[in-house]
Amino acid sequence: MNHKAIGNIIFLLAALVFSLASNAQDMPLTDQLIDKYIQSLKNMQPLSDRINAEDTQGAATMAKLWLEGDTAAINQYLETRPYYAELASVVEKSGFDSTANWVETAQRITQAYMALELGGQEEQVAAQMEASLQQVRDNEYLDDVQKENLIQQLQASQVHLSNLKNVSAADQAAVKPHREKLRTYFETAQ
């Protein structure tokens, strides 16, 4: 085989790998995948509790990134954390190929869950968030740092809310039968 043919094969394989990676969101959410995700949350709870106790600033940054829904930024941030190897181990033991795959799956499931929970009330919630932002800006009892932190959190929530409009009907339909299990987990994990 000549070098040009080998180069073409390598190029096609690279294109295929890139295509598979970039189309992860196009993969359907299945009952098995959603159950695997819920189990991963339970497996991850001790680590999550420790992170929230020991790395409050990192947890706050992670919460902001999560609300913004940028999975690449989430993965990039996670890779810098001292607990990344432990997280990756829990994710792998929970049946996911990689932390990146788990983050993508988690985003899709939680966004579909939130879209179902809001049930078409996004406009009302957006108006409430805007009113809350104005109240924070006008609050004379908050110092500038507190105001900025609250404003950033509310703005991240607004981005998350706007992202919910793009959740596919297929993802919502897949998550719907698992809604009660997810609600129970999210309420008890707080």
> Domain locations in the chain?
3-189
Provide the percentage of residues in the chain whose pLDDT is more than 90: 43
Residue 89 reports pLDDT greater than 90: yes
Mean pLDDT of 83-95: 95
Q: What is the pLDDT of residues 19-67, one digit of tens each?
A: 333 345 568 999 999 999 999 999 999 998 888 888 888 888 888 888 7
Better-predicted residue by pLDDT, 127 or 89: 89
**In whole angstroms, how far apart are CA 135 and each of 140, 143, 151, 168, 183?**
10, 13, 10, 33, 29
CA–CA distance, 170 with 167 (Å, rounded to integer): 8
Contact 182, 39 (CB under 8 A): no
